[in-house]
Chains A and B, each alone.
Chain A
């Protein structure tokens, strides 16, 4: 329990009212418009109630059915019809646009598999896109229903096991954004997140080039040992490293060294946290499908070093 930590409050940034893309920006505007309109409706209604209770009885001047009809039906109808038209226009507006980039995201039990069909790159829990380009996210779930949400870029979309769904988002500028699973999926649903990184065009080119390289065989004895541990201790039964193993039960680790977080957005990626995660993921993300390991300290050190070396 860390009851006393609340003192050092952090300013919220990763939210829908701090938009970084056109869809989120439009929806944030809708929110402020609605807040004003419905806020006024609320205040007027409350004022009428207070007035009704405060004034003295004057027979004959009491409101009747006509008042109820006008105040309760006619005026709200005018307001709601206007708001409905606005909603229809907004929906049509938000559905427009031709995507310039494609990402395929598949949700697994508490992590996201990320594929770039046009680039032949596979990754996990971290999505890289070019900034300023409308991106089509093809979403599907491997098992139960999940939902894909990056608050600063736009609305969410469910990830169904039945068929792919699509979501189009764009980041205005380069930056890093938090995304989460938003449909309850039991277990550590709360700890199922990802990072989306939008790059400037040249930077994105570089990223693609880096990712397209097949990792080199290590020569450092420590890393060689780490690679052996990876193969001997059953890691590869679940995890893929390009050129080494293929399973996608757990996240692809080909580029785990450069990943910002571990455990699908649960903890920052560092040497210490990676070793801790491998030793016992259950203390960090209870319910994760990855079991705790019983490696010797040397093997753990070697494995951590090896994984850290993956670009």
Chain B
């Protein structure tokens, strides 16, 4: 190798390396270190929640125990559930996905590296906020489901504010990570990896990512609504002011049920990856499994009311949810039998991952079948909110998700750490976990059938469940110590284990084509992948192969002075462009700190500080969005020449455009959930507007919304001007849109300020102002985006077809169209519908 090539390799590596020191650690944006950080943090929270579970089981070991007061027990089980579901399960999945997905698809990083960093800090700050309630002595005690009105201002203390605000931060990080994962999967696949060649794990993450988008967003909205009710006196859930307590349950379970499958689907992806490696053969029925994943993702949004079978909703319509629940069981059945068929006659080695997979079958199928029982409505009337349900969901969550993830930890530790996981600890740990699990949770089915409710700090001796509870508690100790053994063993192995070869298991997917652990860039040269099992199959030597190879070779240790990866076509994986990826920066960390500041100000009811800090957050986001990639001219020209692909691009060929699409999907979900809330409240109200309030006036709103529509029309012509590159028209058109948008905002603000009622008047007022306030904020964000694009045009004097400017124009345009549409929907809903319907 000649010295200049060697020097370039070193420069390439330096570009990808993490800067030294604590600042470098904080500023880390690369997916692999951050993925591991996510997983380690979530496992730390997991251990805390396991300890809480041990405390609960100790209290329940004998009847009429008084080790804990009811109050303490309530707080302990609330934190156990909240930690497991919000601070362990989903963040762990996201960490695993952030780490693995780029390696599986041959990408050097995820689509929005700075957001990975931001998301991690939001998650950590959110988790710590939830636990910070300990210092006030008011730990949340409304359960992980936080049903209103129990969680409302009248019946819950400040702990619930910590819970809501911490959860909101975790959700913001989580939704962002989901957008990242989805866009990465769609656009950053390595040359040749068409959609039909994606490994099942990637499919399952694609589904889970989309589900997080549509599932977590209603939860984020619900938590914000409840916080508005608690801090500012809104009345969504207050039955004394026209509110509805069931609205929370609907919004919560619309998230809560998909949540289960958000956890479960990636776990099935892990199984579908490891089982072929163990058996040395391809997964049977790949297409059916993908159909099953898609059906699961889709149907899981139609199940939420099966958590509300006892709420007294009409019987026959509720059976629809029984049917939907059965349908999702079929989808799981297909996956289970696909794995059994893959195993058929293969004699896999009984390594630790295999043991956990067997444990999965034994436990998950049991939990799945009791899930079908619980979905059978008349039976649920009896077992709902008893220990039977507790047993069921621990079977599906521990058996269905934790077991596969532990199998995955053993399987991928060589990649995570460069070292093999010790088998001994794994086997002992598995034994303790498997035996402990069954002794903990199988008796719990019977305990539930015998009438013991869930979420009770004690039970009377006459119930006759003392012995079973005692067995369950002993099992829990074994289960808890098993987790400790496995995790300590993994930590020890990661630190001192035997060094691992690049591909110790003869795995077939791309992560095994990298060294253990992988190079800082993931792939110095992107692999070409034209099969689901690229390492098991020699690719055909055809024209396509040489074209793909040329693109891959072009990126071999290049570019050296900035981070970049390939953008390929969504369906066939043909290279389209080179994506610039930002390097380490402290900006996301500071943004996360500023958001934490906002939330703490809300907790302290210091709303002036909250507003000031919100402006700071906006400024930081503005700075974040306006940093331009700075590519060294000489290298960029040579590199572009070599690649024959654009280095900066716009539209569907850049992740920025897809990111905006994701943002709009999130806002659309918020809008849809608000509209649902509006009509739900109306459905249960005798009169609308409530309490004899007048209809909102059209005299002011009609002109205001007229301006908004006009801005949409102008923007349509702006779009055409952008396409033909008419800079003069664009400058004027965009200025017009900004002015019209600002005029709408101030006009509608005036209208709202002069309404004869306020958000505190009743639930109608609350939802009216929230829905219109959402539109105002959306339009305002649109004005800022559009104004930013306009400023850029004025300041930089670039031609309209400059890729970066194009992207700004396209994104602000997309956003504006959405803002106008959202405004119209809100106008029709809040101003016109009460007059017509």
Chain A's closest residue to B371 (CB) is A38
Please provide the chain B residues from 712 to 753 with a CB less than 8 Å away from any CB of chain A in the complex. none
Please provide the chain A residues from 1 to 28 with a CB less than 8 Å away from any CB of chain B in the complex. 1-3, 5-6, 9-17, 24, 26-27
Q: Report whether A58 and B345 are in contact in the complex, using a CB–CB cutoff of 8 Å.
A: yes
Q: Using an 8 Å CB-CB cutoff, how does the interface string of A26-62 with B read, 1 for contact, 0 for none?
A: 1100110010001001100110110011011110001
Please provide the chain A residues from 142 to 183 with a CB less than 8 Å away from any CB of chain B in the complex. 143-145, 147, 149, 151, 154-158, 160-163, 165-166, 178, 180, 182-183
Q: Report whether A68 and B365 are in contact in the complex, using a CB–CB cutoff of 8 Å.
A: no
Q: Using an 8 Å CB-CB cutoff, how does the interface string of B145-172 with A read, 1 for contact, 0 for none?
A: 0010110001110000000000000000
Q: B347 interface residue, CB < 8 Å from A? A: yes
Interface with A: B174-182, B402-410, B459-467, B626-634, which one? B459-467
Interface with B: A89-97, A117-125, A202-210, which one? A89-97
A1-B65, A3-B61, A87-B376 known; A68-B334 Cβ under 8 A: yes
Q: B676 interface residue, CB < 8 Å from A? A: no
Residues of B within 8 A of A224 (CB): none
Q: Using an 8 Å CB-CB cutoff, how does the interface string of A130-152 with B read, 1 for contact, 0 for none?
A: 00000000010001110101010
Q: A84 interface residue, CB < 8 Å from B? A: yes
Q: Report whether B453 and A30 are in contact in the complex, using a CB–CB cutoff of 8 Å.
A: no
Interface with B: A69-77, A99-107, A226-234, which one? A69-77
Return the contact of A52 from the options B288, B345, B369, B379 (Cβ within 8 A): B345
Q: Report whether B244 and A162 are in contact in the complex, using a CB–CB cutoff of 8 Å.
A: yes
Q: A311 interface residue, CB < 8 Å from B? A: no
Q: Using an 8 Å CB-CB cutoff, how does the interface string of B661-686 with A read, 1 for contact, 0 for none?
A: 00000000000000000000000100
Q: Report whether A147 and B385 are in contact in the complex, using a CB–CB cutoff of 8 Å.
A: yes
Residues of A within 8 A of B458 (CB): 190
Residues of B within 8 A of A3 (CB): 61-62
A128 CB, min distance to chain B CBs, angstroms: 21
Q: A218 interface residue, CB < 8 Å from B? A: no
Q: A286 interface residue, CB < 8 Å from B? A: yes
> Counting chain B CB atoms within 10 Å of each CB, which of A31, A191, A287 scores highest?
A31
Return the contact of B312 from the options A16, A158, A188, A190 (Cβ within 8 A): A158
| Alpha-carbon distance between A84 and B61 when the two chains are bound, in angstroms | 38
Residues of A within 8 A of B369 (CB): 38, 41-42
Interface class of chain A by DSSP: mixed
Q: Using an 8 Å CB-CB cutoff, how does the interface string of B373-385 with A read, 1 for contact, 0 for none?
A: 1001111111111
Return the contact of A80 from the options B330, B386, B453, B462 (Cβ within 8 A): B330
| Alpha-carbon distance between A189 and B362 when the two chains are bound, in angstroms | 34
Residues of B within 8 A of A191 (CB): 70
Please provide the chain B residues from 433 to 462 with a CB less than 8 Å away from any CB of chain A in the complex. 449-451, 453-459, 461-462
Residues of A within 8 A of B450 (CB): 12, 15, 17
Q: Using an 8 Å CB-CB cutoff, how does the interface string of B55-96 with A read, 1 for contact, 0 for none?
A: 000000111111101110010000000000000000000000
B715 CB, min distance to chain A CBs, angstroms: 43
Chain B's closest residue to A34 (CB) is B373
Residues of A within 8 A of B385 (CB): 147, 156, 182-184
Q: Report whether B149 and A144 are in contact in the complex, using a CB–CB cutoff of 8 Å.
A: yes
Residues of B within 8 A of A145 (CB): 147, 149-150, 245
Q: Report whether B345 and A10 are in contact in the complex, using a CB–CB cutoff of 8 Å.
A: no
Interface with A: B216-224, B321-329, B566-574, B583-591, which one? B321-329
Chain B's closest residue to A265 (CB) is B460
Chain B's closest residue to A184 (CB) is B455
Return the contact of B74 from the options A13, A52, A187 (Cβ within 8 A): A187
Q: Report whether A162 and B246 are in contact in the complex, using a CB–CB cutoff of 8 Å.
A: yes
B67 CB, min distance to chain A CBs, angstroms: 6
| Alpha-carbon distance between A287 and B155 when the two chains are bound, in angstroms | 13
Q: Using an 8 Å CB-CB cutoff, how does the interface string of B819-834 with A read, 1 for contact, 0 for none?
A: 0000000000000000
Q: Report whether B379 and A143 are in contact in the complex, using a CB–CB cutoff of 8 Å.
A: no
Q: Report whether A84 and B382 are in contact in the complex, using a CB–CB cutoff of 8 Å.
A: no
Residues of A within 8 A of B372 (CB): 34, 38, 80, 83
| Alpha-carbon distance between A153 and B457 when the two chains are bound, in angstroms | 25
Chain B's closest residue to A31 (CB) is B379
Q: A222 interface residue, CB < 8 Å from B? A: no
Residues of B within 8 A of A30 (CB): 376, 378-379
Q: A272 interface residue, CB < 8 Å from B? A: no
Please provide the chain B residues from 304 to 324 with a CB less than 8 Å away from any CB of chain A in the complex. 310-312, 315-316, 319, 322-323
Please provide the chain A residues from 228 to 264 with a CB less than 8 Å away from any CB of chain B in the complex. none
| Alpha-carbon distance between A92 and B155 when the two chains are bound, in angstroms | 37
Q: Report whether B330 and A160 are in contact in the complex, using a CB–CB cutoff of 8 Å.
A: no
Chain B's closest residue to A61 (CB) is B345
Q: Report whether A24 and B382 are in contact in the complex, using a CB–CB cutoff of 8 Å.
A: yes
Residues of B within 8 A of A143 (CB): 149, 154-155
Q: Report whether B63 and A63 are in contact in the complex, using a CB–CB cutoff of 8 Å.
A: no
Q: Report whether A68 and B341 are in contact in the complex, using a CB–CB cutoff of 8 Å.
A: yes
Q: Report whether A73 and B466 are in contact in the complex, using a CB–CB cutoff of 8 Å.
A: no
Q: Using an 8 Å CB-CB cutoff, how does the interface string of B108-127 with A read, 1 for contact, 0 for none?
A: 00000000000000000000
> Counting chain A CB atoms within 10 Å of each CB, which of B141, B143, B381 scores highest?
B381
Q: Report whether A38 and B312 are in contact in the complex, using a CB–CB cutoff of 8 Å.
A: no
Q: B470 interface residue, CB < 8 Å from A? A: yes
Q: Report whether B341 and A62 are in contact in the complex, using a CB–CB cutoff of 8 Å.
A: yes
Return the contact of A76 from the options B330, B345, B466 (Cβ within 8 A): B330
Residues of B within 8 A of A34 (CB): 372-373, 376, 379
Q: Report whether A87 and B322 are in contact in the complex, using a CB–CB cutoff of 8 Å.
A: yes
Residues of A within 8 A of B495 (CB): none
> Counting chain B CB atoms within 10 Å of each CB, which of A64, A91, A158 scores highest?
A158
Q: A185 interface residue, CB < 8 Å from B? A: yes
Chain A's closest residue to B289 (CB) is A68
| Alpha-carbon distance between A27 and B344 when the two chains are bound, in angstroms | 39
Q: Report whether A26 and B378 are in contact in the complex, using a CB–CB cutoff of 8 Å.
A: yes
Residues of A within 8 A of B333 (CB): 72-73, 76
Q: Report whether B63 and A91 are in contact in the complex, using a CB–CB cutoff of 8 Å.
A: no
Q: B694 interface residue, CB < 8 Å from A? A: no
Q: Report whether B386 and A57 are in contact in the complex, using a CB–CB cutoff of 8 Å.
A: no
A1-B62, A80-B326 known; A12-B465 Cβ under 8 A: yes
| Alpha-carbon distance between A161 and B453 when the two chains are bound, in angstroms | 21
A289 CB, min distance to chain B CBs, angstroms: 12
Residues of A within 8 A of B684 (CB): 162-163
Q: B346 interface residue, CB < 8 Å from A? A: yes
| Alpha-carbon distance between A45 and B70 when the two chains are bound, in angstroms | 42
| Alpha-carbon distance between A189 and B245 when the two chains are bound, in angstroms | 19
Q: B36 interface residue, CB < 8 Å from A? A: no
Q: Report whether A65 and B284 are in contact in the complex, using a CB–CB cutoff of 8 Å.
A: yes
Return the contact of A57 from the options B62, B69, B329, B347 (Cβ within 8 A): B347
Chain A's closest residue to B332 (CB) is A72
Q: B770 interface residue, CB < 8 Å from A? A: no
| Alpha-carbon distance between A291 and B370 when the two chains are bound, in angstroms | 43
Q: B361 interface residue, CB < 8 Å from A? A: yes
Q: Report whether A71 and B373 are in contact in the complex, using a CB–CB cutoff of 8 Å.
A: no
Q: Report whether B70 and A56 are in contact in the complex, using a CB–CB cutoff of 8 Å.
A: no
Residues of B within 8 A of A180 (CB): 453
Closest 9 CB pairs of A and B: A155-B381, A12-B464, A165-B312, A72-B337, A190-B456, A68-B285, A72-B334, A15-B451, A184-B455
Jot down 6 A-B pairs with beta carbons below 8 A, ordered by A. A17-B450, A27-B378, A53-B348, A62-B345, A67-B337, A72-B337
9 new A-B pairs (CB below 8 Å) besides A31-B449, A42-B369, A287-B70? A6-B62, A11-B464, A15-B449, A27-B382, A34-B379, A49-B358, A143-B149, A143-B155, A186-B74
Binding site for B on A (CB under 8 A): 1-3, 5-6, 9-17, 24, 26-27, 30-31, 34, 38, 41-42, 45-46, 48-49, 52-53, 55-58, 62-65, 67-69, 71-73, 76-77, 80, 83-84, 87-88, 90-92, 94-95, 139, 143-145, 147, 149, 151, 154-158, 160-163, 165-166, 178, 180, 182-191, 286-287
